[in-house]
Structure 1
Amino acid sequence: MEEKRRMMEMEVLKKDPDHQQIDELMSATFSKRRKEIVGDQPLVGDVIARWPAMFCERQVRAEFKRVVSTDLLESFLDGLDDLTPRLLEVYEAATKSAKKPALKAILDCLKKDDTNERRRTAALLGLPHYLREEPSDIIRMCDAHGETLTAAMEGMQLGLLIGYEGENQDVFPREVFNEAVVVEETVVLHNFKDVPSSFAMHLGIIYCVNLEYPRAMKYSFEFLQRVVMKINQIKPLPESTASETSS
């Protein structure tokens, strides 16, 4: 398996890598990779160094399916579309019965541009506010041509960075330049153009690298897992944690 891992590592470095071969090598080394990630709990930087092929949309979706037998993007978007109308209704009701200015500001964005994609975005960005969570350290907006990437990611252990172009007068931008998944102040996935897809990839990375849900949005992610994607399977515990739980 180590030989196959090295083959994968070398293939990724090529100018024109063979994606079919990478798929086969990643599938063949799955058990070795899970043993390392779940058992050893390495830093994300170490995982990137040893398994560079995993950090792209194609491989995150493939790895997620190996872990939970579900198509990541399809399941996420289908589940979100089913729930978005109801979520927006309960958000609207919540803004009338309680002081939730952040949630109201998100809903107000739809009055200017009520497309399906923006309704999905409003449903996702409104969720932590509805659940009385604080998402500011998990979801950040930044001017693509303004502050540096390093400054935008400062202190970000796990989250989404949404880059926009031009003046952004709304709670979430109309023109998304680029979105990235950040882990330990490092961009691990990028080049997403819409919030729902980047949310799905964020969840996928959490599963692939066996991370805990960020505490500030724990209930939001559990909702996405159990209600939106209908996944009741609990992520595998690291060996040390599992031993402590058993004892």
Structure 2
Amino acid sequence: MSSSRSGNLYAEFSRIVTKDLLKSLLEGLDAMVPSLLEAYKAAVASGRRLAMSGVLQCLQKEDTNQNRRTAALLGLPIFFAEDSSNVIRMCDAHGETLDVILKGMQVGLLIGHEGPLLDSFPLEVFNVAVVVEEKIILHDLRDVPTGFAMLMGAIYYLNLEYPRNMKYSFEFLQKVIMTIKPDQCSARIHGLRNKLLRYHL
């Protein structure tokens, strides 16, 4: 997807929901990151989501604002016990060919990193791409949060459904993080939002 097409994506998203695509995701995310990370820690401590510990350990290695955002986003499907394998994939610059990596991806993100992946998510990302129907439609995005914003924009722009395997994660992004139709949450998302608000108190 060219820069002009990504501009169209921005414009169409703004027309549909009257919000700035990247700003609404980043501002909403930054407001929720502390509470989300607390919820993740509590889930690990209770033994319910041990897989989340790897995400939290990445922050112990390098606790930057960008990595906190990335941990919050990539932790969502783990928190909801969803299978993100066909939606979010990591790609070593010198690993498998793109055809192999993209197989089975109907809509999602490809996160490019240098060298073998030793952590739950790469601390050094060099490229993030948006994938639709096993094809890269937008690439050279600078980081994972921007990738998620553009993925949400592409879903709106192309009038796609959210991936079924990650429906709660995407509903949370839409209704809690980006506050698009926030009063139409499912019971599960409504419950998590209330729990996160309690962490704020």
Q: TM-score, normalised by structure 1?
A: 0.71
- 2: distance between equivalents of 1:157 and 1:110? 30
Q: 1:72–1:204: 8 Å Cα contact kept in structure 2?
A: yes
TM-score (norm 2): 0.87
How far apart, in 2, do the equivalents of 1:233 and 1:223 lie?
9
Deviating beyond 4 angstroms after TM superposition, the runs of 4 or more aligned structure 1 residues are none
Q: CA deviation at 1:233?
A: 8.0
Percent identical among aligned pairs is 57
In the alignment, what sits opposite 1:166?
115
Q: CA deviation at 1:167?
A: 2.9
Provide, for residues 8-63 of structure 1, a one-character-per-residue CA deviation record: whole Å limited to 9, x for no partner.
Answer: xxxxxxxxxxxxxxxxxxxxxxxxxxxxxxxxxxxxxxxx8xxx78632x221111
Is 1:215 matched up with 2:153? Answer: no
> What RMSD over aligned residues (CA atoms) do the two structures have, in Å?
1.7
8 A Cα contact 1:157 1:182, kept in partner: yes
Map of 2:188 onto structure 1: none
CA distance in 1, matches of 2:157, 2:20: 13
1:118 — aligned with what? 67
Q: 1:53 to 1:90 in 2, by over 3 A?
A: closer
Q: RCO (CA 8 Å, sep 6+): is it higher in 1 or 2?
A: 2
Does structure 2 retain, via aligned residues, the 8 Å contact 1:68–1:233?
A: no
Q: Secondary structure at the match of 1:101?
A: coil
**Unaligned stretches of 5+ residues in structure 1:** 1-47, 235-247
SS in 1 for 2:51: helix
Deviations for 1:126-166, whole angstroms, at most 9, x for unmatched residues?
01111111111110001012211111101111110001012
For residues 1-247 of structure 1, what are the structure 2 equivalents within 5 Å? 55-56=5-6, 58-232=7-181
Larger radius of gyration: 1
